[in-house]
Amino acid sequence: MDRTLAIIKPDAVERRLTGRILERIEAEGFQIRAMRMVRMTKREAEGFYAVHRDRPFFQSLTTFMSSGPTVVLVLEAPDAVRKWRELMGATNPAQAAEGTIRRTFATSVERNATHGSDGPETAAFELAYFFRGLELTGE
Ligand code: IDP
Ligand code: MG
């Protein structure tokens, strides 16, 4: 079993899409191992997206991610990292496959409804960014 970090971003929470996205996650066979609502500060969003600090969209992205509450989740499934990215679809919703979460719910490349870790090392960093050991080890 594998774990990945998912975030329901502020655009989707604000538009009351949380329930529909959670339903989709469970329907696709993920076990939700931990879940919490988090309103990140600007600084916390910058720490989370530190790998992107030199990208032109960094300031806008971290302002957006700290603009309202998010839902952070630990998802478990075989091959969870890849499987969750596949369910989310491409970063740019215009390029995301039909039926993916981003194709269905995103309104722009920035306001794209959900986040997912992009590999096992990233997942380990991102899970630890939001969840403590005890929350992560429970069955
Ligand atoms: P990912 O979320 O699909 O892994 P990343 O390249 O890691 O995509 O980018 C992180 C987030 O930054 C994206 O989900 C999106 O919200 C935002 N982003 C990425 N590229 C752009 C862009 O070209 N313009 C504006 N925002 C972007
Ligand atoms: Mg990424």
- DSSP β-bridge partners for residue 3: 76
d(CA 24, CA 105): 12
122 CA from centroid of ligand 2 (Å): 9
Alpha carbon 104 to its chain centroid, in Å, reads 15
Residue 23, phi-psi category: left (phi > 0), alpha (psi -120 to 50), beta (remainder) = alpha
Residues with CB under 5 A from ligand 2 (ion): 118
pLDDT bracket for residue 135 (50, 70, 90): confident
Q: For 21-79, how does the pLDDT look when each residue is reduced to its tens digit (9 = 90+)?
A: 999 999 999 999 999 999 999 999 999 999 999 999 999 999 999 999 999 999 999 99
Q: Is the pTM of this model over 0.85?
A: yes
For residue 46, report the distance from its CA to the centre of ligand 2, in Å. 13
Per-residue pLDDT tens digits for 104-115? 999 999 999 999
Pocket test for ligand 1, best of 54, 110, 111 (most atoms within 8 A of CB): 110
pLDDT in tens, 4-16: 999 999 999 999 9
Q: Which CATH topology does 2-134 take? A: Alpha-Beta Plaits (3.30.70)
* Ligand 1 within 6 A of CB of 34: no
Q: What confidence category does residue 136 fall into, taking pLDDT thresholds of 50, 70 and 90?
A: confident
- Mean residue pLDDT across the chain: 96
The CB of 107 under 6 Å from ligand 1? The reply is no
Find, among 20, 22, 121, the residue nearest to 75 by Cα: 22
d(CA 87, CA 27): 11
Domain residue spans of the chain: 2-134
